[in-house]
Amino acid sequence: MLRGEITAVSEPRLFFDITGLLHWYAYFRHPTGIQRVIEGLAASQPLRRHPRVEFVARFIGDDSFYRVESSLLARLSVPSERRQVIARLRGLFTAGMRSGRFGMWLGDMRYYHLPYLWAGILRLESAVEATFSGKRPIGRPTPERATPPTRHDVFFHPGDIFWQKRGAATLVELRERTGVRIVELVHDLFPHEHPDWFQAGLVQLFTRGLDQLAPHVDTWLTHSQFVRGQVERYLADRALTNRRVATIPMGWDSFGGASRTPPDPASEELSLRRLGLQDVRFILFVGTVEPRKNLSTLLDAWSRLRDDLGAAVPDLVVVGGRGWRSENVRNRLRRMTGVRWLRGVRDDELVALYRHARFTVAPSYAEGWGLPVQESLALGVPCIASSGGAIPEVANGLAELVDPTDTAALAAAMARWIVNEDALAHARARLAREFERLHLPSWDDSAKALLELVFGVQS
């Protein structure tokens, strides 16, 4: 149940839920693909400047939603401000713990929320913020409750329903109480279709939450035709075929539009030096170390090439956090000579890694989109990618596609660009030509599509 009176509005509003993003940065400093998508939309000019868009979040043990300043979200993409923004979000998360109620805390929390609960009860939000930022905070983060929605409004949930145990239930209660229309973004349905790729707890929260929420969703959104097909099959299995399913474009202007600005050689050289990669020839992989990313096949192919071609094969740099069910792969990464596993890489460092890689490899069994493929291509770096899932859509004929289960085919594709400099140079030149003529969508374009879908007119 929502506390507070419902206030009628003359025009419909869009509530953009960043609850999951707030949770993520309460514990982590660097985004995965899901956070990059949510940040890209939230930081877009059309959404931040629209007078009828409100950014909101829910706290543990509470059934209300609270305002989050749009300017705070936009500053996440500014390297010099990112640490302070995350610190403020952590302070806000801490303060929000006091808004919960004991009974709801028990049904909503997981073990890792306990430190924040105690810090919130003891009113230590400023200390939490200062600890992370290294600076004395300006003012105390104070959550401000949002005016509840009405049946004329739209509630946009960006797909990360697995952070709170009662997350889906709260959205259902919101829908039933207010009549607000729910728009749900789906990044992929892999936890539902391939539970063996994920941690059991995440699978349970995802599948249970999705099943609970699905009958109450008015419109489903995806970024790819592949995921749209997943959603349509899921809805058909549950006799929910009268629901609208639409796609909106994925923004190509990652890293603050780095692909559209000239590189800074001095800054990139400094980044490579910090990472220990100055004057090192390397092939790049970007992604969480987890089963779906298919790193085992890449390591097998790279090892085969080292056996056949020796020192001609560049080092392999793996950029990604430690994922679940990956102990064997992690052990291989630690002991293999010529393989470097980097974690906690900043965005500016990642851009430098992309630009200085010989080429990139993305061998995932499947992706709902494939941001590392997009990022590589957008920065003009040739990519060898899997043919699984939505990757062919993002590749758009610009990446070399291989069967993710075929180690020999992957090794052959890599060997071609290792031993044939002309072929690699041709691939780079082709990317440069194609991106000169292509008009690829930005996050502003994606936001405009969302607004048009919500309000029914171009915004």
Q: What is the pLDDT of residues 351-384, one digit of tens each?
A: 999 999 999 999 999 999 999 999 999 999 999 9
Question: Which CATH class, in words, describes the domain spanning 14-251+444-455?
Answer: alpha beta
pTM above 0.85, yes or no: yes
Q: Write the CA distances from 49 to 69, 143, 409, integer angstroms.
A: 12, 21, 48
- In this predicted structure, the answer to whether residue 2 has a pLDDT above a threshold of 80 is no
Please state the domain extents for the chain. 14-251+444-455, 255-437
- Residue range 221-231, pLDDT digits in tens: 999 999 999 99
- Answer yes or no: is pLDDT of 434 > 80: yes
Average pLDDT value over all residues in the chain: 92
Average pLDDT value for residue range 15-39: 95
Give the sign of the dihedral formed by CA 116, CA 119, CA 125, CA 129: negative
Predicted pLDDT at 96: 96
The distance between the two most distant Cα atoms of the chain, rounded to a whole number of Å, is 71
Query: Which residues, 6 or more positions from 22, have their beta carbon under 8 angstroms from its beta carbon?
Result: 57, 68, 89, 92, 93
C-beta atoms surrounding 438 within 10 Å? 10
**pLDDT, tens digit, for every residue of 285-320?**
999 999 999 999 999 999 999 999 999 999 999 999
Phi, psi of 294 (to 5 degrees): 60, 40
d(CA 435, CA 354): 16
Cα 133 to Cα 327: distance, rounded to the nearest angstrom: 32
* CATH topology agreement for domains 14-251+444-455 and 255-437: yes
Superfamily of segment(s) 255-437? Glycogen Phosphorylase B; (3.40.50.2000)
What's the pLDDT tens digit per position in 68-121? 999 898 898 888 899 999 999 999 999 999 999 888 888 888 889 999 999 999
Task: Residue count of the chain, please give it.
Answer: 459
Neighbours of 280 (CB within 10 A): 13
CA-CA distance, 438 to 397, in Å (whole number)? 12
Measured at the alpha carbon of residue 92, what is the angle toward residues 79 and 205, in degrees to the nearest 5?
A: 95
pLDDT at 1 over 70: no
